[in-house]
Amino acid sequence: MSQEQKIVEISMHCRGGQTCITASQLLAEMAFEKGFKDTIAIPIVGAERRGAPIQAFTKISKNKSIKTYDSVVYPDYLLLFDTSLIKIPRIKATIKDGVTLIVNSPDPIDSRDLPKNIKIFIVDATGICIKRDFMHASGPILNIPMLGAFGKITGYYDLEIMENVIRKEFGESKLDNNMSVARDAYESVKEV
């Protein structure tokens, strides 16, 4: 089945406070703004606390209606906001042949225990946030740089779409800060 005819499933894994639930919702909005027929964000909300493993999912489709609202088991794309989460067996088990892994890391990750038929991209989202002072009380706000990297890798949306959605969601006053980290990630993400 071609990318045009399938539902693309994205899984995001972060720690509480690293903003992957917001990233999931923003990704759905950006894809819809780009012209995808249907998009849905599926947060997994429980007894969350800062630092606890959190997951969120997004499903997008260019020309099919999405009729399933369950979590993503075998994603097409997996965004890993914190490299330590790859050691969690239930997360590692979702990294199957054909997945594209986007990792918040300045350096390549150890991929010896991962399937050989995957693509791995790295972006130093934390470093970008620190450099741009894009922080909240508990640390870097990683959603926007991770989405910048995702947009560059997939072509599902571009910086102009990101700007439109960010302006609508966060207002004009926060646009420049958000777009500076989005642009840095968009331009620096690389395949390893």
Strand 38-43 to 100-104 pairing? unpaired
1 belongs to a structural domain: no
Amino acid 176: pLDDT: 96
Which pLDDT score, from 0 to 100, does residue 27 have?
Answer: 98
pLDDT value of residue 165: 97
CA separation for the pair 7, 141 (Å, rounded): 28
CATH code (residue 28): 3.40.920.10
The C-alpha atoms of residue 80 and residue 102 are separated, in whole angstroms, by: 6
- The answer to whether residue 33 is domain-embedded is yes
Q: Is residue 169 part of a domain?
A: yes
Domain range enclosing 177: 7-191
Q: How many structural domains comprise the chain?
A: 1
Residue 161: per-residue pLDDT: 97
Tell me whether residue 97 is in a domain: yes
With respect to residue 174, please indicate whether it lies within any of the assigned structural domains.
yes
Q: What are residue 81's DSSP bridge partners?
A: none
Low-confidence ranges of the chain (pLDDT < 70): 1-5, 45-51
2 assigned to some structural domain: no
Would 89 be classed as within a structural domain? yes
pLDDT, position 2: 54
Q: What is the DSSP string of 147-191?
A: HHHHHHHH-SS-HHHHHHHHHHHH-GGGHHHHHHHHHHHHHH-EE
